[in-house]
Amino acid sequence: MKGLVETESLTWLIVASEQRELARIARRPGWLLLASGPGSRLVSEALREKRAVDGIVSVGFCGALDPALEIGDIVVAGGEVESARRFVRGEILSTDRVAVTAAEKRALRQRTGAIAVEMESAAAAAKAREWGVPFRCIKVVSDTANEDMPLDFNQYRNAAGQFSRGQIALAALRRPLTLIPALRRLDRNCRIAAEKLGEFLADCQL
């Protein structure tokens, strides 16, 4: 318990891409939750001014590159994280685009050896180094290594880097029989992932 008390006395900035990634995370003493938007640029903008925190944690959804990972699996990189719950430790690749196809994921796995891919942690880690504070990366799998995304979501980002939900909805309406069910499956997987992330963060020690 001594370690837990020491953890709770620190102030951690918990940074995710979207609010729904934070939706199931219970607030703990000293935890500040921030949805920055997707990609490195928006993370850097959200963290432009230094905050009085003791550490930064990048959380949220990731795509699996390791075929053994399943929806809802927790992947940890960066500094020390302790939990009685199951998690996998390994390299998480951070890129400024969505890995759309299973073939692209296989290529990233072969080229980098990473077990998962996401879009924000590198920028959050850079800010932690700049501020001189510890960094943790805790991600949850929302799409597996062997599945394709329903759409190339990279085509639906606006000039600011945000994903345009309106354009995605219009694209789905052009092919409703295939895209709408696929997008619903992805949304269901994201809800499962958000629940698992919240459960893990409820009692882990940073």
pLDDT value, residue 7:
53
Can you say how many angstroms the Cα of residue 20 is from the centroid of all Cα atoms in its chain?
11
Query: Which domains, and CATH codes, for the chain?
Result: 2-203 (3.40.50.1580)
pLDDT value, residue 9:
80
Whether residue 80 contacts residue 163, with contact meaning beta carbons closer than 8 Å, is answered with: no
Residue 52, helix vs strand vs coil: coil
Closest by Cα among 96, 95, 195, 101 to 141: 195
pLDDT value, residue 195:
97
Whether residue 153 contacts residue 167, with contact meaning beta carbons closer than 8 Å, is answered with: no
- Neighbouring-strand partners of residue 71: none
The pair of three-digit structure tokens given for residue 173, joined into one six-digit string: 């309406």
Give pLDDT tens digits for 53-63.
999 999 999 99
Give pLDDT tens digits for 138-166.
999 999 999 999 989 999 888 778 888 88
Length of the chain: 206
Below-50 pLDDT ranges, the chain: 1-6
The pTM for the full model equals 0.91
Tell me the C-alpha to C-alpha distance, in Å, between residue 14 and each of 35, 44, 106, 136, 169. Answer: 9, 14, 30, 9, 29
To the nearest 10 degrees (0 to 180), the angle between helices 165-174 and 176-203 is 140
Can you say how many angstroms the Cα of residue 46 is from the centroid of all Cα atoms in its chain?
16
Residue with tokens 């895209």: 179
